[in-house]
């Protein structure tokens, strides 16, 4: 039996907590982890070896790491690149997207969320970004996304970094947005990587809106009795019974959950476009 090929990961200026996380996330025997102290050393390492995954250090800014990413992209175009930064700005996050970073996290970040993103990166098929920027400023972003699950999680993290919201509101918007985006990818796009979802994100002073358009034919509520939002009054679990009869996995709470997390959830006539609106409290 031929030996299983080992993939290489390059980690910049890792502290003990990140090393422990990587030991837990990267499968032993399948990954060789290389550590360097700086972006300069990282670039030198890339000149001599191909890396499937690169994670930058927390002590550099997002813009410094984007500059490194742009250089590495010319040398190793298929490397998955995750930016950890001590600070970022919406402009730097957009720059990371344009340079095809896999993801970006600025401190302080959640270790479990980073672990999930690293797992997503190493489990994803051969690198093909799947996110196209149509136009973008920090206040108004238009994107095209391949109908793949991992693309949804990546976009949610990018927008979390751009939004600059208090934690509670950030989590509410992110959860509602992901639920609706997954509906668009799974049901509208049928998880077909050759189909695309379009999103439009607007950050105004006192509100955030997210518009999602999928390539499917749409739906009406009477066509989705397996969703909790279609339950009749007095029977809050009817959809669960229908899902069991149809052999569909448990769930169906996405639209109902999103309705509770944002202030407005509006579908177009066909049902293949949805608008989410969250009103923000004025800064005290």
Q: What is the average per-residue pLDDT within 214-238?
A: 73
Pick from 20-24, 86-90, 224-228: least confident: 224-228
Enter the tokens of residue 173: 């918007």
DSSP 165-199: --HHHHHHHHHHHHHHHHHIIIIISTT-TTSEEEE
Query: Can you list the domains of the chain with their CATH numbers?
Result: 1-128 (3.40.50.2300), 130-284 (3.30.565.10)
Give the predicted TM-score (pTM) of the model.
0.89
For residues 147, 148, 154 and 155, what is the CA-based torsion angle, rounded to 10 degrees?
Answer: 10
Work out the end-to-end distance of the chain between its first and last CA atoms, rounded to an integer number of angstroms.
Answer: 65
Instruction: Count Cβ neighbours within 10 Å for each residue of 128-166 and write b for 16 or more, e otherwise.
Output: eebbeeeebebeebebebbbbebbbbbbbbbbbbbbebe
Pick from 20-24, 89-93, 128-132, 201-205: least confident: 128-132
Q: Is the pLDDT of residue 3 over 60?
A: no
Q: Is the pLDDT of residue 284 over 70?
A: no
Tell me how far apart the alpha carbons of residues 28 and 42 are, in angstroms, rounded to a whole number. 22
What confidence tens digit (pLDDT) does each residue in 157-167 have? 999 999 888 88
Q: What percent of the chain has pLDDT over 70?
A: 86
Determine if the peptide bond prior to 43 is cis (ω within 30°).
no
What confidence tens digit (pLDDT) does each residue in 92-137 have? 999 999 999 999 999 999 999 999 999 999 998 766 789 999 999 9
Q: What percent of the chain has pLDDT over 90?
A: 74
Handedness of CA 137, 141, 146, 150 (dihedral sign): positive
At 83, is the secondary structure helix, strand, or coil?
strand
Sheet holding 273-279, edge to edge: 131-137, 140-146, 196-203, 207-213, 273-279, 264-267
pLDDT (0 to 100) of residue 78: 87
> What is the Cα 249 distance to its own chain's centre?
23
Q: What is the average per-residue pLDDT within 254-261?
A: 88
pLDDT (0 to 100) of residue 4: 61
Identify the CA nearest to 275 among candidates 283, 116, 267. Answer: 267
What is each CA distance from 1 to 4, 5, 31, 241, in whole angstroms? 9, 12, 19, 48
Q: Is the pLDDT of residue 2 over 60?
A: no
Q: Is the pLDDT of residue 226 over 70?
A: no
């Amino acid at each position: 039996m031929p030996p299983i090929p080992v993939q290489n990961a390059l980690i910049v200026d890792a502290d003990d907590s990140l090393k422990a996380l990587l030991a837990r996330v990267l499968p032993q025997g399948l990954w060789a982890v290389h550590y360097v102290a700086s972006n300069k050393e990282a670039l030198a390492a890339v000149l001599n070896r191909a890396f499937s995954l690169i994670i930058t250090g927390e002590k550099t800014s997002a813009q410094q790491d984007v500059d490194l990413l742009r250089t590495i992209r010319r040398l190793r175009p298929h490397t998955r690149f995750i930016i950890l930064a001590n600070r970022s700005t919406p402009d730097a996050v957009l720059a990371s997207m344009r340079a095809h970073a896999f993801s970006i996290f600025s401190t302080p970040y959640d270790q479990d969320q980073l672990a999930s993103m690293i797992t997503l990166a190493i489990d994803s098929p051969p690198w093909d970004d799947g996110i196209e920027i149509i136009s973008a400023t920090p206040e108004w972003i238009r994107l095209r996304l391949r109908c793949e699950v991992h693309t949804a999680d990546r976009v949610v993290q990018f927008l979390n970094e751009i939004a600059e919201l208090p934690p509670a509101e950030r989590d509410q918007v992110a959860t509602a947005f992901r639920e609706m985006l997954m509906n668009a990818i799974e049901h509208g796009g049928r998880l077909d990587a050759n189909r695309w979802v379009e999103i439009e994100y607007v950050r105004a002073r006192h509100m955030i809106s997210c518009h999602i358009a999928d390539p499917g034919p749409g739906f009406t509520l009477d066509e989705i009795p397996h969703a909790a939002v279609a339950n009749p009054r007095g029977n809050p679990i009817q959809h669960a019974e229908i899902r069991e009869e149809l052999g569909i996995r448990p769930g169906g709470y996405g639209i109902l959950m999103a309705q509770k997390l944002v202030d407005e959830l509006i579908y177009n006539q066909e049902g293949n476009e949805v608008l989410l609106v969250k009103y923000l409290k004025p800064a005290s």
